[in-house]
A and B are shown apart, each in its own frame.
Chain A
Amino acid sequence: MRKLKEFIIEKLILICGIASIFFVALIFLFLLREGLAVFKTVGPFKFLMGKSWYPISEPPQLGILPLILGSLLVTLGAAIISIPIGVGCAIYIAEIAPAKIKEILKAGIELLAAIPSVVLGFIGMVTLVPLVKSLFHLPTGLTALSGSIMLAFMAMPTIVSIAEDALYSIPKNYKEGAFALGATHWQTIWRVMLPAASSGIVAAVMLGIGRVIGETMAVMMITGNAAVIPHSILAPVRTLTATIAAEMGEAVVGSEHYFALFAIGIVLFIISFMINVTADIFLHKRQS
């Protein structure tokens, strides 16, 4: 009886374990099935490199280059803003801050992670967008830069907590050895701690970026959604995620437009998959 119970529980846990992989596989298969149909009407090259996105015209023009570049530009901007601040914050928390401040900072960062993205988008729309507009004398503040700044806030909690973890898990004798050799605190951090934690920090950055590229609501609200190839970070852009979110409701099921949106989903899936794999490689490098 007891053995049977053990057996059942073990198998149940096994099913739970397999379930997540099973679901990912199902999602990917579904995406492929719905998305690949678009290539009957438009070639893969024309789809990825096409410069105009007019999905509801007759015939539809389904070029997603402006959308890909829009997503990359917003992500790049967010990375440039969030990486130095995030890593700096992690170093401060792990190495310098006194215990009390450390606790406050950690709680604050967890709180930042808990803010729903739509709220961040809303705050950005009423505060950041007018500021960007007047600061740079632009015709409109709905730009890639506004999106980047808001998304940097979303990437930061991930970057800080994982990077801090990486710094924290460096063996103590590294630090003691550096001090023993007469290195100052800053020299120790810069020359010993950071290189030792580098793979963990890279993983933190990649996971932060992964969060940014998949973010939808905030970018949809503050980047203007103009499907044009961006020439500067001060121009409006339309991202892959915002396009799917904004247009899925309208797309007639079974139309080219519908399939094209799923194909955009595949592109997004591949991008975030690559980012996650890169992060994973660096994480494993650190462990071995």
Chain B
Amino acid sequence: MLKKIWLVLIMLALSTSVFAASGKNSIQVKGSDTMVNLGQAWAEKYMEKNPGDFVAVTGGGSGTGFSSLISNTCDIAMASRSIKEKEITLANQKGIKPNEIKVAMDGLAVVVNPANPIGKLTIDQLAGIFTGRISNWKEVGGKDEKIVILSREVNSGTHVYFKEHVLRKLDPNSKEEFAPSALMLSSSQAIADEVAGNPVAIGYYGMGYISPKQKPVAVAKDEKSEYVIPTIENVINGTYPISRPLFLYTNGVPEGLVKKFVDFTLSREGQDIVLATDFVPVNR
């Protein structure tokens, strides 16, 4: 009996020392689902170059990333929106100073089923569709069929960005909301799958998720402007109207391992990975 207890104690001591050791050269990256693939690609390449260092990347949504940063359970938060005033106050209360680093750009694609004849829409029409004022495809020149609106859940930075920039057109006094009938799906992939299988659905997500099974809609600022499709060139030259910055947030100015990783994401190699995962580099 006594022997057993000793064994358990020794095992415990050993395992804690292992964890303690791994704690020193590992960083936790958490946040935006839009950026999860990008973060993972960075982490893989980074760990390849720096054997011994360990980077763990998880998703959950930009808001989840911020709350983890605030509760000090991650070192870097990935975010597809800027931090809110409320979150900064909360962070400061806990002694955390969020530090914003812009690492990439992303075009938000509005997608429909390839069988849908609609190929272009204005921002006004998009706002009308997603708020529910336009509920039939024939009102925007399509077939006489009900529109099924697909949206991300409220924990998604993409949801917040789309609401502020398309539905509310950046007007702080606007009270526009997604139609209550909008289906809230829990991931970009779920939206991609539903659009691929449903000829009357419309959804939105980061450009990286576009595949031949969905058709990106060309978007124009207003009726007089040109209709532009979401491509990397169009986001870089600024003609595509719904594009947004992607951020990493750290606690204070990055130091040590966190700095090494952030510098890597901004390096030529890191920015090549940005391009390879269908986002738009900021540092060229």
Tell me the A residues contacting B by CB distance below 8 Å: 52-57, 66, 130, 133, 139-140, 142, 220-221, 224-228, 236, 238, 246-247, 249-255
* Minimum C-beta distance from A117 to chain B (A): 15
- With a cutoff of 8 Å between Cβ atoms, the chain A residues found around residue B228 in the complex are none
* Minimum C-beta distance from A31 to chain B (A): 20
Interface bits B65-103 vs A (CB < 8 Å: 1, else 0): 011001100000000000010110010000000000000
Contact B200–A225 (Cβ < 8 Å): no
- With a cutoff of 8 Å between Cβ atoms, the chain A residues found around residue B155 in the complex are 246-247, 249-250
Q: List 9 A-B contacts (CB under 8 A).
A: A57-B175, A139-B148, A140-B148, A142-B183, A224-B184, A226-B182, A226-B183, A250-B154, A252-B86
Number of A-B contacts (CB under 8 A): 82
Nearest CB to that of B199 among chain A residues? A139
Tell me, yes or no, whether B145 is within 8 Å of chain A by CB: yes
Bound state CA distance, A133 and B148, in angstroms? Answer: 12
* Minimum C-beta distance from B161 to chain A (A): 12
Contact B184–A225 (Cβ < 8 Å): yes
Nearest CB to that of A257 among chain B residues? B154
Tell me, yes or no, whether B186 is within 8 Å of chain A by CB: yes
Contact A66–B180 (Cβ < 8 Å): yes
Contact B63–A250 (Cβ < 8 Å): yes
Given contacts A55-B154, A139-B146, contact A249 B183 (CB under 8 A): no
- With a cutoff of 8 Å between Cβ atoms, the chain B residues found around residue A221 in the complex are 186
Contact A140–B154 (Cβ < 8 Å): no
Contact A225–B183 (Cβ < 8 Å): yes
Tell me, yes or no, whether B198 is within 8 Å of chain A by CB: yes
Bound state CA distance, A247 and B154, in angstroms? Answer: 7
- With a cutoff of 8 Å between Cβ atoms, the chain A residues found around residue B186 in the complex are 220-221, 225, 246
Contact B64–A249 (Cβ < 8 Å): yes
Tell me, yes or no, whether B15 is within 8 Å of chain A by CB: no
Tell me the B residues contacting A by CB distance below 8 Å: 60-61, 63-64, 66-67, 70-71, 84, 86-87, 90, 145-148, 153-155, 160, 175, 177, 180-186, 194, 197-198, 200-201
Known: A139-B201, A140-B194, A225-B185. 8 other contacts (CB 8 A): A139-B147, A139-B200, A140-B148, A224-B184, A236-B181, A250-B63, A250-B153, A252-B67
- With a cutoff of 8 Å between Cβ atoms, the chain B residues found around residue A55 in the complex are 154
Contact A253–B90 (Cβ < 8 Å): yes
Nearest CB to that of B66 among chain A residues? A252
* Minimum C-beta distance from B154 to chain A (A): 5
Contact A227–B148 (Cβ < 8 Å): no
- With a cutoff of 8 Å between Cβ atoms, the chain B residues found around residue A133 in the complex are 198
Given contacts A252-B63, A253-B67, A254-B90, contact A140 B180 (CB under 8 A): no
Contact A238–B184 (Cβ < 8 Å): yes
* Minimum C-beta distance from B168 to chain A (A): 10
Bound state CA distance, A247 and B67, in angstroms? Answer: 13
- With a cutoff of 8 Å between Cβ atoms, the chain B residues found around residue A57 in the complex are 175, 177
Bound state CA distance, A246 and B186, in angstroms? Answer: 7
Nearest CB to that of B180 among chain A residues? A228
Contact B87–A252 (Cβ < 8 Å): yes
- With a cutoff of 8 Å between Cβ atoms, the chain B residues found around residue A53 in the complex are 180
Contact A140–B153 (Cβ < 8 Å): no
Nearest CB to that of A227 among chain B residues? B180
Contact A228–B181 (Cβ < 8 Å): yes
Shortest 5 CB-CB contacts between residues of A and residues of B: A250-B155, A250-B63, A225-B184, A228-B180, A224-B183
Nearest CB to that of A56 among chain B residues? B154
* Minimum C-beta distance from A100 to chain B (A): 43
- With a cutoff of 8 Å between Cβ atoms, the chain A residues found around residue B148 in the complex are 139-140
Contact A139–B183 (Cβ < 8 Å): no
Nearest CB to that of A52 among chain B residues? B180
- With a cutoff of 8 Å between Cβ atoms, the chain A residues found around residue B184 in the complex are 224-227, 238, 246
Contact A140–B60 (Cβ < 8 Å): no
* Minimum C-beta distance from A264 to chain B (A): 14
Contact B67–A130 (Cβ < 8 Å): no
Contact A225–B153 (Cβ < 8 Å): yes
